[in-house]
Amino acid sequence: MLKGKVAIITGSTSGIGLGVARKLAASGADIVLNGFGDAAEIEAVRSGIEADFGVKARYSAADMTKPDQIKAMVDETVAAFGSVDILVNNAGIQHTAPVTEFPAERWDSVIAINLSAVFHGIQSALPHMQAKGWGRIINIASVHGLVASVNKAAYVAAKHGVIGLTKVVALENAEGGITCNAICPGWVLTPLVQKQIDALAAREGISETEAKVKLLSEKQPSKQFTTPEELGDLAVFLSSPAAANIKGAALTVDGGWTAQ
């Protein structure tokens, strides 16, 4: 379905981004992976995607805190593949602390990666989409773009910002073939959340399994983690013709978290 399309997925060496990249590739898109990690492991992921799905896959080491590197990633993609049709802004980090103890430099880095990078990526990619009259921008926000939790000031502020930015970009491109939407997952079992599970287990002296149950029970009524594959399938749907008139939406995939 996405044959001939080119997708950049930021932060796709791990977790949700990797799940989304694999699903877009499985639908036929050529893809650009991005993110940090061991060079040999990243190369194995990249070549594995080419072998598994018969698409072309490139890797960009662009640091999402650096606007010039984000622009270079987009420009290199267009030079190599001829276009950028789908942009998935997914790279993100977390830091937890009460506001009064929140280190300013952690605030700056969470805002830079989780919010400002989304702006810089869109600003670089959008002109190419507008020139072709077609594009899909998918921002991986969070339930924390809609509701708050304690100790997550920078993350919650950034994710609320992402949903606002999503709406503006959707409205500025309301006529024509470009859509911009946000996906708002609840808990997804990735390295980002594993750190919070490990911290909870250590803090409360409980096992990892007990910590997972406790984490889910507090917020996510389904008591099931959303998977990167489910989010990948949603990104494929948002890239499909059926989703052409979904513009500026914040789609929850949260097991009922925000229904409460």
Which residues contact ligand NAD by CB under 6 A? 11-17, 34-37, 63-65, 90-93, 113-114, 140, 142, 185, 187-188, 190-193
Closer to ligand NAD by CB, 122 or 205: give it.
122
Taking residue 103's Cβ as centre, other Cβ atoms within 10 Å add up to: 11
C-alpha 223/C-alpha 13 separation (Å) is 27
Closer to ligand NAD by CB, 135 or 186: give it.
186
User: Which of the residues 155, 187, 225, 257 is marked catalytic?
Assistant: 155
Q: Work out the end-to-end distance of the chain between its first and last CA atoms, rounded to an integer number of angstroms.
A: 36
Q: In whole angstroms, how close is the CB of 103 to ligand NAD at the nearest point? A: 17
Q: In whole angstroms, how close is the CB of 215 to ligand NAD at the nearest point? A: 10
Give all strands (DSSP E) within 37-106, no chain letters.
57-60, 86-89
155 is catalytic: yes
Q: In whole angstroms, how close is the CB of 92 to ligand NAD at the nearest point? A: 2
Q: In whole angstroms, how close is the CB of 241 to ligand NAD at the nearest point? A: 26
Give all strands (DSSP E) within the chain, no chain letters.
6-9, 30-34, 57-60, 86-89, 134-140, 177-185, 250-253
Closer to ligand NAD by CB, 140 or 234: give it.
140
Cα radius of gyration (the chain): 18
Q: Which helix (H) or strand (E) segment is 117 a member of?
A: helix 117-132
Q: In whole angstroms, how close is the CB of 191 to ligand NAD at the nearest point? A: 4
C-alpha 139/C-alpha 141 separation (Å) is 6
Closer to ligand NAD by CB, 2 or 158: give it.
158
Could you tell me the two tokens for 8? Answer: 């950049």
Closer to ligand NAD by CB, 14 or 179: give it.
14
Q: In whole angstroms, how close is the CB of 176 to ligand NAD at the nearest point? A: 27
| Three-class SS state of 220 | coil
C-alpha separations of 76 from 10, 143, 176 in Å? 14, 33, 26
82: left (phi over 0), alpha (psi -120 to 50) or beta: left
C-alpha 136/C-alpha 249 separation (Å) is 13
Closer to ligand NAD by CB, 89 or 179: give it.
89
Residues assigned a catalytic role: 155
